């Protein structure tokens, strides 16, 4: 619970209304009650503002006069809401080693570290101050984890990975597993040993059940501030620039370099050995088969339509080569007649 005046001071925002109003939770604009804080970022949702029962609404300066009760005024209401939510829902941290946790005697453990039941910490691991390791998580040999990082239950970190400070590694994710490397010998595949590692910068978030493969020779690298959603696959020797974000089910093949400040929407597939420039934004379900060397927004694929139209259009798509050939013949014929 926070007083509205406390929130305004902590967030450095202008306050409209009662500074002593108590805020207990966050909620959507439609569902919020007098004890809740919400926000208005999309002008199309203004119709819900006057009817909202929210105790506090964060709005842009242009909407300050429309606040029915109490308000916080922010240039970016969504960002201010995120920061307010973190104040109302602080991360719970502990400082204890559960008796059912397994820690190798060679591990280096900092101050205020928590390791939950059935977690395993291997040889020569280094856990810096404030690291939290969830139940059943596995920290393999020679892994280093930076201060304040949270490793959620059943996450696995191996391959001598280096994890920066204040990261969040969510449940079921695997960092440092072997990359997909095989050489063909006639009719069989022979595994190529993957001897590189994974390096994550500071404040990297890895979503649940995502995988980041260790490098084949060098390292797979995610720079500071990278955010990846659930069920993302990052192949060996991929390099992702700082503050790039990617949504669920993205797949990046090996040795591709993704620039800084990019956004990659859900289910995008990126082929290997490509270069993606800084400030590239790729829309959902796109297939990236060539390097993107200029900033901008990129898309591929076709939008959904009724099945009958789709089948007809697919049939025409398969006729394009023949149509183009006939068009060239017609152009040559018309050229001769001229």
Q: How many angstroms separate the CA atoms of 192 and 177, rounded?
A: 13
Q: Is 236 an active-site residue? A: yes
What does the H/E/C string look like for the chain?
Answer: CEEHHHHHHHHCCEEECCCCCEECEECCCCCCCCCEEEECCCHHHHHHCCCCCCCEEEECHHHHHHCCCEEEECCCHHHHHHHHHHHHCCCCCCCCECCCCEECCCCEECCCCEECCCCEECCCCEECCCCEECCCCEECCCCEECCCCEECCCCEECCCCEECCCCEECCCCEEEECCCCEEEECCEEEECCCCCCEEECCCCEECCCCEEECCCCCCEEECCCCEECCCCEECCCCEECCCCEECCCCEECCCCEECCCCEECCCCEECCCCEECCCEEECCCCEECCCECCCEEECCCCCCCCHHHHHHHHHHHCCHHHHHHHHHHHHHHHHHHC
Alpha carbon of 90 to those of 2, 72, 84, 224, 291: distances in Å?
A: 12, 20, 10, 22, 41
Distance, CA of 3 to CA of 24 (rounded, Å): 9
Active-site pick, 187, 236, 239, 273: 236
Handedness of CA 7, 10, 11, 16 (dihedral sign): positive
Residue 286 has phi, psi (to 5 degrees) of -70, 150
The residues that are catalytic are 236
């Amino acid at each position: 619970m926070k007083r509205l005046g406390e929130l305004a001071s902590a967030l450095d925002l202008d306050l409209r209304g009662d500074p002593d109003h108590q805020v207990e939770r966050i909620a959507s604009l439609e569902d919020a009650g007098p004890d809740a804080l919400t926000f208005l970022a999309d002008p199309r949702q203004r119709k819900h503002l006057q009817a909202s029962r929210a105790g506090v609404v964060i709005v842009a300066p242009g909407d300050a006069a429309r606040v029915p009760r109490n308000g916080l005024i922010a240039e970016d209401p969504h960002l201010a809401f995120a920061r307010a939510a973190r104040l109302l829902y602080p991360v719970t941290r502990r400082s204890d080693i559960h008796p059912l946790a397994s820690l190798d005697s060679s591990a280096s453990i900092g101050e205020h570290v928590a390791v939950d039941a059935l977690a395993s910490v291997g040889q020569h691991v280094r856990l810096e101050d404030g690291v939290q390791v969830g139940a059943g998580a596995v920290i393999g040999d020679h892994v280093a984890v930076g201060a304040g990082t949270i490793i959620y239950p059943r996450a696995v970190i191996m391959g001598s990975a280096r994890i920066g400070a204040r990261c969040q590694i969510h449940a079921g994710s695997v960092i440092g597993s072997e990359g997909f490397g095989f050489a063909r010998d006639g009719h069989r595949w022979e595994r190529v040993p993957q001897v590189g590692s994974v390096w994550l910068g500071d404040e990297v978030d890895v979503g649940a059940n995502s995988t980041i493969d260790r490098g084949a020779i060098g390292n797979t690298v995610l720079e500071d501030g990278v955010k990846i959603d659930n069920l993302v696959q990052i192949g060996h020797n991929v390099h992702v620039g700082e503050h790039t974000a990617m949504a669920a089910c993205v797949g990046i093949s090996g040795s591709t370099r993704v620039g800084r400040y990019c956004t990659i929407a859900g289910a995008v597939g990126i082929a290997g050995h490509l270069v993606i420039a800084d400030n590239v934004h790729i829309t959902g379900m796109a297939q990236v088969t060539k390097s993107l060397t200029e900033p901008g927004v990129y898309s591929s694929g076709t939008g959904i339509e009724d099945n009958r139209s789709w089948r007809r259009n697919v049939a025409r798509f398969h006729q394009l080569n023949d149509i183009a050939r006939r068009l060239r013949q017609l152009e040559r014929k018309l050229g001769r007649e001229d």
